[in-house]
A and B are shown apart, each in its own frame.
Chain A
Amino acid sequence: MLTVSMNVNGNSATHEVPDNTLLVTFLRETLGLTGTHVGCDTSQCGACIVHLNGESVKSCSLFAAQADGAKITTIEGIADGDTLHPMQQAFHENHGLQCGFCTPGMVMSAIELVTKNKNLTERDIREGLEGNICRCTGYHNIVKSIQAAAEKMS
């Protein structure tokens, strides 16, 4: 067992966990933040994406211990009270989700993509989503959502 401490969505969290606890397990099971999903065993689907010190990472492929001392943002931490984050609002308005399983990871991945890059083309957005898999939408409305959010966020 070891003690890990991190700041999650603005709150500090310190817990004793088994050494091999994955960050996603820490978020979902220790902290009860179940918005972050697990969709695969091969680090390919991106349903588990969160921000670690502002960068998108796959929380299923990181030990909680590696995030000791870090600032983590999950899907639960991006809205401002009842006001959705522009990326969430854009997914809502553009029908960017169907079952919603991939959505938390899509949104977290897209926020980093749009924050780090200006004037994204449709192709840039599609390539930027290489790490996210959606089984429902066929991606078209996800791309539209991100384009719409990019305009609002710029």
Chain B
Amino acid sequence: MYSNKYVKATNVNKAASIIADAEDGKFLAGGMTLIPTLKQRLASPDLIIDLSDCKLTGIEDEGASIRIGAMSRHVDVAESVLVQNAIPAIANLASQIGDRQVRNRGTIGGSLANNDPAACYPSALLGLGGTIHTQNRSILAEDFLTGMFETDLEEDEIIIGISFPKPDKAAYVKFPNPASRYAMVGVFVAKFSDGVRVAVTGAGEDGVFRASNIEAALDESFKANSIIDGLVSADNLMSDIHASAEYRAHLIGEMTRRAVIACG
């Protein structure tokens, strides 16, 4: 590991001003992505700014949506009765991330800021059409997720919370990579009164994406057998040692069918 300094910020504005003064600062949330990255010398920030004392936890019911504090850990979301009642698909998604130790540390804000193409939460953000709140502004899912490991966040911008509109029904089903537990393919299906949204993670060359022809098929008829073979093309899907683009296309169809069934 390269050497770095460590500070704990006591509020968001202080954290933002500390990073503005640093040469190459990085915010630290749960550290479940950042610390392994540092250990492998894939990043070399000179300053780590720990957000854990910035009071960014808490989950609230906002009526038509729920709002989850950025520093809520995966275990907090998975075990939240509020989330389980309002949008059970999110609690279920959080309970499937990594392993118990990762869920005891990793946070929703860290996961979304990182926008790993195989991460679970980006599919919930896009599938539900959620909104990211920072200390400066609110950003719609589509504008926030700009590509693989890329977001619209400025260098000194901190996610403070995320709002998710409540759907009529929703479900997340993933095919985990057997070694890493990340999604080889994960599909988030959300049915709203004005239409169905389907977001796919783990498969797209540019990260999470909405599968418009699946959405159209489910708008027509919200049934598992609406997802016919050949509906999902392998174009623009990732091919790697874990799975070919064609296999991922197949998995998208299958995970979607399972998600529709799970919606009940």
The answer, yes or no, to whether A44 is at the interface (CB within 8 Å) is yes
The answer, yes or no, to whether B226 is at the interface (CB within 8 Å) is no
Contact B180 A61 (CB under 8 A): no
The answer, yes or no, to whether B48 is at the interface (CB within 8 Å) is yes
Contact B35 A41 (CB under 8 A): no
A44 CB contact (under 8 Å) in B8, B50, B180: B180
The answer, yes or no, to whether B102 is at the interface (CB within 8 Å) is yes
Q: Shortest distance in angstroms between A125's beta carbon and chain B's nearest beta carbon?
A: 12
- When C-beta atoms are compared, the residue in chain A nearest to B99 turns out to be A131
Contact B99 A130 (CB under 8 A): yes
B31 CB contact (under 8 Å) in A63, A113, A131: A63
Contact A19 B6 (CB under 8 A): yes
Contact B31 A66 (CB under 8 A): yes
The answer, yes or no, to whether A104 is at the interface (CB within 8 Å) is no
B223: chain A residues within 8 A (beta carbon):
none
- When C-beta atoms are compared, the residue in chain A nearest to B4 turns out to be A20
- Which B1-40 residues have a C-beta within 8 angstroms of A? 1-6, 8, 28, 31-32, 35-36, 38-40
Contact A62 B3 (CB under 8 A): no
The answer, yes or no, to whether B258 is at the interface (CB within 8 Å) is no
Q: Shortest distance in angstroms between B72's beta carbon and chain A's nearest beta carbon?
A: 15
B35 CB contact (under 8 Å) in A43, A44, A109, A131: A43
The answer, yes or no, to whether B242 is at the interface (CB within 8 Å) is no
Contact A57 B105 (CB under 8 A): yes
Convert A57-87 into 0s and 1s, putting 1 for each residue whose CB lies closer than 8 angstroms to a CB of B. 1101111011000000000000000000000
Give Cα A60 to B105, complex, Å.
12
Give Cα A49 to B99, complex, Å.
12
The answer, yes or no, to whether B244 is at the interface (CB within 8 Å) is no
B40: chain A residues within 8 A (beta carbon):
41-42
B104: chain A residues within 8 A (beta carbon):
55-57
B39 CB contact (under 8 Å) in A19, A41, A109, A130: A41
- When C-beta atoms are compared, the residue in chain A nearest to B40 turns out to be A41
A41: chain B residues within 8 A (beta carbon):
36, 39-40
The answer, yes or no, to whether B98 is at the interface (CB within 8 Å) is yes
A43 CB contact (under 8 Å) in B2, B50, B102: B102
B39: chain A residues within 8 A (beta carbon):
22, 41, 60
The answer, yes or no, to whether B101 is at the interface (CB within 8 Å) is yes
Contact B100 A113 (CB under 8 A): yes
Give Cα A109 to B102, complex, Å.
12
5 new A-B contacts, CB < 8 A, other than A57-B104, A62-B105, are A19-B3, A44-B180, A65-B50, A66-B50, A132-B99
8 residue pairs, one from A and one from B, having the closest CB atoms: A131-B99, A130-B99, A19-B6, A131-B101, A61-B35, A43-B36, A58-B101, A55-B104
Interface residues of B (CB under 8 A from A): 1-6, 8, 28, 31-32, 35-36, 38-40, 48, 50, 52, 98-102, 104-105, 179-181
